[in-house]
Chain A
């Protein structure tokens, strides 16, 4: 710390071996020749300021502060535990199941009053967004249109049985850690509520075989199992230690009879090989690729991908991601759905990867992939999450201080042949 007191002191130079001189009299002869090391979190922040500053422009400060502040969690209910009482308890605390409420709105689009917040609170009251879009459409009319759209078009088909509780917008209450119930299972799993969206979008129907290509640490895999619609689930992760963690999580949440080897298969292969291993096998494939995990990189020093020693790894990430996506496409059945998701804001890791994978699939494999529109889904959940407007490909959940979920990017691809 810069001290007000003058730090130059006259040091006594005593002759003799350093070991014989008391520490307080030793003279420092060698001064640092290298620059101080900048922490990796700081490097990450600098990197983001440059890249996302240009990508998002006026919206970046709002996103930046949300990333640097404490994130908001959602509680994924464990259907195998005593779910009903748990849900009542959470509702008493003020949390609501956003999946249920969104669905309730599709059943009766007129009655928005079912939600406790009345539905008028659609103002992402950030003048930044208004400035960015430039159009002065009052938000109430947008609400009206949205409701009509939802009623007119088919409500999006979502994976069933997923229940995730969150506190309302602007509420910063936290969930207490989950407790073990009578049968030795935990009641809920705390995760970023935006991570549930890719699983919902995947639209797993009963009887499907599902592949989760990069399953660890296990949040999305757990959600997939909660749907109780996976006839067979293959969960894979390239890292053995993380697969171990995945196993432990499944042990705490899923009763043994539901996670037997034939129902849930956990492996530790390299995901890129799946094209050769099991091509044309799966109805649904979830490709939740390793990415720069923006939120984690800004706050945690440990295992940070922005350390200088991992810069090569970071620069080859997009290549790895497109290879994984390609493998996922190969592993899917014709007519199957592949869902690509990341937790970063970077276009290089999101849209560009999808573009490249689709292109390569078309040119080298002759596989046509059709990208499905997810706007009905975003319409459903726009009360809980802050979606980016004007996305060319896929959907992006932007963190905002009032709903500090994300960043999550997801894109739904359907293999046509």
Chain B
């Protein structure tokens, strides 16, 4: 841990001039886990420009513990007021009625502003931005600091909280643990922030659940570590899915479509819901455009690449399937009906084997007058 001897600004200047050497510096220093206390809040730089570099810098700078907060003047674009303005305080006091432990506490406001929130954002946080987000509590404050340490800027933090209000209820320490476990899985700095901002629900998973999901992908589905990281990066929502759903999707892709692991990862298969994959695959198969490879992995025709047909629907229809949107719509309805009937058929199979001789139904060559599905 660096001592206060090194001034942050000078440090930054040297970083900027050396460009990529930042990464080397990062490997030299171990980033300490931050401990939170109400009185001292680590400063975070406002996000500007190149992300990964800045992110690392932020990590390094935030681990600095120099004396009073005023000394650290790290890339502030404009001078932020140290104390919250009087109007802001009054407004908040009005809102919460001055109840203890509520947001209107001056120190809370100050710490929020130090974290980088503007006045409007502070108000938003305190009164609860939407009906879903509850007003900020002290626990929420620690969550906010963790998220700030992670490198998210205030507006993205607000968005994240809007998307996933449960986050504010999680303890700061727990949150940090979860972030660390995500890091251990291989999510590097830039991707980690992106993943959290796109899918904040991933932080609601306990490490145990995360571990089960990852273990499933590694052992059952036989993905390599790198592939698992890639899946996490491109489709974090996969981890939130139930194990059974995930397994079904994987098995459908592997056995029924005959796709190998590398293609699955490269094409972003896990981003697309199973119904869509199935609809498109069966559509192409029945058109004769796609053929499941046989035991030896050979096909009689050249299959279209998975990337192409999991893409946007216009591309899919015009380039790969070469069919009209009406046909695909009708086909989707027919397919859902077929699948429902199959499911019913499987359930009824155990019940009775009676054939209902429905009169008045023509089927070409069959001798039976059975209702043909």
- The A interface, classified by DSSP as helix, strand, loop or mixed, is mixed
Considering the chains assembled together, what is the distance between the CA atoms of A1 and B364 in angstroms? 33
Identify which of residues 316-373 in chain B touch chain A, using a CB-to-CB cut-off of 8 Å.
318, 322-327, 329-331, 333-335, 337-338, 358-367, 369, 371, 373
Of all A-B residue pairs in the complex, the 3 with the closest CB atoms, nearest first, are A61-B287, A65-B286, A125-B324
CB nearest to B222 among chain A residues? A4
Residue A117 lies at the interface, judged by CB distance under 8 Å to chain B: no
The smallest C-beta distance from A187 to any residue of chain B, in angstroms, reads: 8
- Tell me the complex Cα distance, A190–B358, Å: 11
Contacts of B333 in A (CB 8 A): 172
Q: How far is the CB of B99 from chain A (nearest CB, A)?
A: 58
From residue B170, how far is it (CB to closest CB) to chain A in Å?
36
Q: Is there contact, CB below 8 Å, between B287 and A64?
A: yes
B330 touches A190 (CB 8 A): no
Task: Report the bound CA distance from A186 to B358 in whole Å.
Answer: 11
**A172 B360 Cβ-Cβ under 8 A:** no
Min Cβ gap B264→A in Å is 14
Q: Mark B190-226, 1 if CB is under 8 A from A, else 0.
A: 0000000000000000000000000000001010000
User: Chain A contacts of B360 at CB under 8 A?
Assistant: 177-178, 186, 188-190, 249, 252-253
In the complex, how many angstroms separate the beta carbon of A341 from the nearest chain B beta carbon? 13
Cβ distance A31 to chain B, nearest Cβ, rounded Å: 15
Q: Does A303 count as interface, using CB distance less than 8 angstroms?
A: yes
Q: How far is the CA of A253 from the CA of B359 in the complex (A)?
A: 10
A-B contact sample (17 more), CB < 8 A, given A189-B360, A241-B367, A402-B330: A49-B288, A60-B288, A65-B288, A68-B286, A69-B331, A70-B373, A125-B324, A126-B327, A192-B362, A217-B363, A242-B367, A245-B367, A252-B359, A296-B363, A303-B367, A343-B364, A402-B327
Tell me if A102 is interfacial: C-beta within 8 Å of chain B: no
The residue that A296 contacts in the complex, of B288, B324, B364, B373, with Cβ under 8 A, is: B364
Instruction: Determine if A126 and B323 form an interchain contact, defined as CB atoms under 8 angstroms apart.
Output: yes
Residues B288 and A64 in contact, CB atoms below 8 Å apart: yes
Q: Is B78 an interface residue (CB 8 A)?
A: no
**What is the chain A residue whose CB lies nearest that of B295?**
A2
Q: Scan A207-223; emit 1 where CB is below 8 A from any B CB, else 0.
A: 00000000001110000
The residue of chain A having its C-beta at the shortest distance from the C-beta of B331 within the complex is A401
Bound Cα distance from A217 to B359, whole angstroms: 12
Question: Known: A186-B359, A190-B361. Is A61-B327 also a contact (CB below 8 A)?
Answer: no
B270 at the interface (CB under 8 A from A): no
Mark B215-245 against chain A: 1 for CB-CB distance below 8 A, else 0. Answer: 0000010100000000000000000000000
Expressed in whole angstroms, the minimum distance between the Cβ of A180 and any Cβ of chain B is: 9
Q: A245-B367, A293-B365, A296-B365 are in contact. Are A61 and B334 (CB under 8 A)?
A: no
Give the complex CA separation of A403 and B38 in angstroms: 70
Q: Report the minimum CB–CB distance from A245 to chain B (whole Å).
A: 7
B274 within 8 A of A: no
- For the complex, give the distance between the alpha carbons of A262 and B38 in Å: 104
- Please count how many residues in chain B sit with their CB below 8 Å of the partner chain's CB atoms: 37
Q: Which residue of B lies closest to A195 (CB)?
A: B362
Hey, what's the 0/1 contact readout for A173-201 against B, CB within 8 Å counting as 1?
00001100000001011111001000000
20 A-B pairs with CB atoms under 8 Å apart are A60-B288, A61-B323, A64-B286, A65-B331, A69-B331, A126-B324, A126-B327, A189-B360, A189-B361, A195-B362, A217-B362, A245-B369, A253-B360, A293-B364, A296-B363, A302-B366, A303-B366, A303-B367, A305-B365, A400-B327
A34 contacts B by Cβ under 8 Å? no
A1 touches B255 (CB 8 A): yes
**A133 CB to nearest B CB, Å:** 15
Kindly state the separation between the CA atoms of A296 and B366 in the bound complex, as whole angstroms.
9
A65 contacts B362, CB within 8 Å?
A: no
Kindly state whether residue A170 has any CB partner on chain B within 8 Å. Answer: yes
A222 to B342, CA, bound (A): 32
B242 to chain A, nearest CB (A): 20
Tell me which residues across on chain B come within 8 A of A2, comparing CB atoms.
Answer: 255, 295
Residues in B neighbouring A303, C-beta threshold 8 A: 365-367
CA distance A338 to B367 in the complex (A): 27
- Interface pair A248/B359, CB less than 8 Å apart: yes
Q: Which of A388-412 contact B (CB under 8 A)?
A: 400-402
Please encode chain A, from 131 to 173, with 1 for each CB lying within 8 Å of some chain B CB and 0 for all others: 0000000000000000000000000000000000000001010
B283 on interface, CB distance cutoff 8 Å: yes
Interface membership of B289, Cβ < 8 A: yes
- Residue of A125, A128, A219, A401 ringed by the most chain B CB atoms within 10 A: A401
- Which single member of B289, B338, B371 contacts A61 (CB below 8 Å)? B289
A177 and B286 contact, Cβ closer than 8 Å, known pairs A4-B222, A65-B331, A241-B367: no
Shortest CB-to-CB span from B124 to chain A, Å, is 47
Neighbouring B residues of A305 by C-beta, 8 Å: 365
Chain B 269-307 interface mask (CB, 8 Å, partner A; 1/0) = 000000000000001001111000001000000000000
Q: How many angstroms from the CA of A170 to the CA of B365 in the assembled complex?
A: 27
Given A60-B288, A127-B322, A172-B337; A189-B362 close (CB under 8 Å): yes
Residue in B338, B362, B373 whose Cβ sees the most chain A Cβ within 10 Å: B362
- Chain B residue with minimal CB distance to A220? B362
C-alpha spacing A248/B368, complex, angstroms: 12
| Contact A218/B362 with A68-B286, A125-B326 known, Cβ cut-off 8 Å | yes
B321 (CB) vs chain A CBs: closest residue? A61
Chain B residues with CB under 8 Å of A126's CB are 323-324, 327
